[in-house]
Chains A and B, each alone.
Chain A
């Protein structure tokens, strides 16, 4: 059974803290993505990666960075968390070619106090 896992289901951090969200996929997918989901706004792409050590900005990259040192792992980093980064964060992966079917992890609900 294919799987995308995320390191935490719930996370509470304080303003100014550095936050790491980890995502691992076991499908040997080239592409990996980080989204945030907020009520009424749908899923918005933060960053994506199409290969190891490669990264591309999505629609809302400000305040975030990413790291992809291994093909199966994609990390989202909040250098200095702020309250407006309180959100649900979803990781996804897909094959490079084809219909872009993305497989999502269960999400991390991050609260920044």
Chain B
């Protein structure tokens, strides 16, 4: 089976940097993805790491260490609109297994 662990809630202030960690136990690992979901909205894709290291996309970066079964999403220069739930997801051959999500609350 597959299991993922991520914090249930993280709080931060505007302009700050926040890191959301994700550890996983899985078989058939192809990569680690991150999705963002605003309240009442659909999940949307943020990033994907297949190899170890850091991937940067604007204010968001994602990191993967396959040997440690660990990854994180780094959000910089936080804005109020970043308040949302963030899900890590392990990629199998065709499917994703999602973590339970981290609710990020950004305050002024």
Residues of A within 8 A of B (CB): 31, 33, 35, 40-45, 48, 50, 58-59, 90, 92, 94, 96, 99-107
> Which residue of A48, A59, A90, A104 is within 8 Å of B94 (Cβ)?
A48
Residues of B in contact with A, size category:
20 to 34
Give residues of chain B (37-93) contacting chain A, Cβ–Cβ below 8 Å.
41-45, 48, 50, 87, 91
Query: In the complex, how many angstroms separate the beta carbon of B43 from the nearest chain A beta carbon?
Result: 5
* B94 pairs with A31, CB closer than 8 A: yes
Taking each of A44, A48, A50, A101, which has the highest tally of chain B beta carbons within 10 Å of its own beta carbon?
A: A101
- What is the CA–CA distance of A100 and B90 in the complex, to the nearest angstrom? 10
Which residues of B have CB within 8 Å of A35? 98
> Which residue of A41, A45, A105, A107 is within 8 Å of B100 (Cβ)?
A41
Which residues of A have CB within 8 Å of B95? 33, 45, 48, 58, 100
Which residues of B have CB within 8 Å of A31? 94
Query: In the complex, how many angstroms separate the beta carbon of A103 from the nearest chain B beta carbon?
Result: 8
Taking each of B42, B50, B87, which has the highest tally of chain A beta carbons within 10 Å of its own beta carbon?
A: B42
* B44 pairs with A43, CB closer than 8 A: no
Taking each of B45, B48, B96, which has the highest tally of chain A beta carbons within 10 Å of its own beta carbon?
A: B96
